[in-house]
Amino acid sequence: MLATHTLNWQKIFARFFNLVLPQACPICQSFVTGAGLCSNCWHDLRPIAEPCCAACGRPLVYAMLDSLCAPCLIKPLPLLRIRAGYCYDAASRQLILPFKHADRIDIAPVMAAMLAPIFKQLAHKADIAIPVPLHARRYIKRRYNQSAELARWLCQHHGGRIEFAPQYLLRTKATPSMAGMTKFRREQNVRRAFAIAHPEAKACLAGKNILLIDDVMTTGATLTSCARTLLKAGAGSVSALVFARVV
C-alpha cells in the first residue's frame, strides 16, 4: 500500500514539474513540454513499418507471399525474428551516438518510450530480455553499457512480466570496432565472442524464449553470434529488438 502511494505521488510530482519546467529535446535542446523529441527532430526520423521481412525486419518495398527478404531466403538466421524501430541514418545517429559515446544515458528513457510499442509486441512472447554485452575492458572505459540501459528502461517501464537479465551472457573476446568492415569480416570478428556467464546460468536459460536488445544492427553478425551461444546453452528461441538498423 505504501509503495502504491509513493508511486502515485511520484507521478503527480513528475506531471507537475513537466508543466512548470519545460524539458529539452535530447537532440536539438529546444524546449518541449514532456520528455521526448521536438516535432522537428521527430519528423526527421524514419520509423520502420510493415511491410518488412518476417525474419530480419528489413523494410520491404511491397508485401511478399513469404514475407522474407532475399538474404534471409538464401541464408536463414538462427534468430526467430529481429525487429528494429528506426532506420540508422543521420537523424537516428544524433540520438544514438551521444547515448553510446558521450555519457548521455539520460536519453535511455526517451529511446525506450520510442521503442515501447514494438517491445511490448515482442516482450509478451519472451521470458527473458538480455542486452548485448560489452567486453569488460570496454565497459570499464565507457562505464556503462548503452544496450543494458535501454533494455533496463524497456523492462522496468514497458515490459510487463519479462525478466531483465544482463547477467547471463558475457562478451569474452575484445573485438575491435567493426566500422567499415565487410559482412564476412564482421562475422569473423564476433565469432565465438560470447559465452554463458556461469554453469548455473544454463539452467536459467534452458527452454526459455530470449529477447536480445541492442542499440544498432548493421549486418546482424553480433546478434547472430549471441543467438548461437544462447541456443547452444539450451535456450528455446532467440529474438532481437534493436533501436535502429542499417537498411
With CB under 5 A as the contact rule, the residue among 7, 14, 28, 206 that binds Zn ion is 28
Stretch that binds Zn ion, among 5-13, 56-64, 110-118, 207-215 (CB under 5 A): 56-64
SS3 5: helix
- Its sign, for the CA torsion 158, 163, 150, 42, is negative
84 binds Zn ion (CB under 5 A): no
- 68: exposed, middle or buried (Cβ count in 10 Å: 0-12, 13-18, 19+): middle
25 belongs to the binding site for Zn ion (CB under 5 A): yes
Q: Which three cell numbers stand for residue 55?
A: 525474419
Whose cell is 553480433? That residue is 222
55 near Zn ion (CB under 5 A) = yes
Helix (H, G, I), strand (E, B) or coil at 214: strand
Rule CB under 5 A: say whether 41 interacts with Zn ion: yes
* DSSP state for residue 192 in the 8-state scheme: T
Nearer to Zn ion, 32 or 193 (CB): 32
**Residue number, 74 or 140, with CB nearest to Zn ion:** 74
| 27 makes contact with Zn ion (CB under 5 A) | yes
Per CB under 5 A, the list member of 38, 48, 60, 197 interacting with Zn ion is 38
Q: Which helix (H) or strand (E) holds 149?
A: helix 146-158
* Identity of the residue, 58 or 208, whose beta carbon is nearer to Zn ion in the bound complex: 58
DSSP 39-69: HHHHHH--B--SSB-TTT--B-SS--SS---
Kindly determine how many residues on this chain lie close enough to bind Zn ion according to the rule CB under 5 A.
Answer: 11
- Is 56 a binding residue for Zn ion by CB under 5 A? The answer is yes
Least CB distance from residue 39 to Zn ion, whole Å? 8
Residue 68 beta carbon to Zn ion: minimum distance, rounded to whole angstroms: 6
Q: Contact with Zn ion (CB under 5 A): which of 45, 69, 112, 233?
A: 69
β-bridge mates for residue 200, sequence order: none
CA distance 224 to 122: 18
Contact residues toward Zn ion (CB under 5 A) are 25, 27-28, 38, 41, 53, 55-56, 58, 69, 72
